[in-house]
Amino acid sequence: APLPRQEHKKPPAIANGELCINGKGKKLRKPRTIYSSLQLQALNQRFQQTQYLALPERAELAAQLGLTPDLDTAPVKIWFQNKRSKYKKNMKQD
């Protein structure tokens, strides 16, 4: 008698918040950071002071906001990049 076909289940794409590679060799993204209103308020206040942060400043801000379980400052860096882009776009329109 033929054996029943076993379904091959893929392991989770994201394990412990780290990037894994899928079957096609493409890297998968980390989950998007969702900011609380207090975190957004702090980020916006800091952006009003300065539009650019050095790595130590970024690390300090990320730690203050509780965004660094593994000392990953990328969410703060990306938020500032996006904010600068949005700011420049709005300045062009005015």
Domain range list for the chain: 37-91
Continuous H helices in the chain: 37-49, 55-64, 74-93
Position 49, amino acid: Q
By three-state DSSP, how is residue 93 classified?
helix
Q: What is the Cα–Cα distance from 45 to 10, expressed in whole angstroms?
A: 43
Q: What is the Cα–Cα distance from 54 to 62, expressed in whole angstroms?
A: 12
Q: What is the Cα–Cα distance from 46 to 2, expressed in whole angstroms?
A: 66
Task: Provide the whole-model pTM.
Answer: 0.67
Q: What is the pLDDT of residues 58-85, one digit of tens each?
A: 999 999 999 876 667 899 999 999 999 9
Q: What topology is assigned to 37-91 in CATH?
A: Arc Repressor Mutant, subunit A (1.10.10)
Q: What is the pLDDT of residues 18-54, one digit of tens each?
A: 455 555 667 787 788 899 999 999 999 999 999 999 9
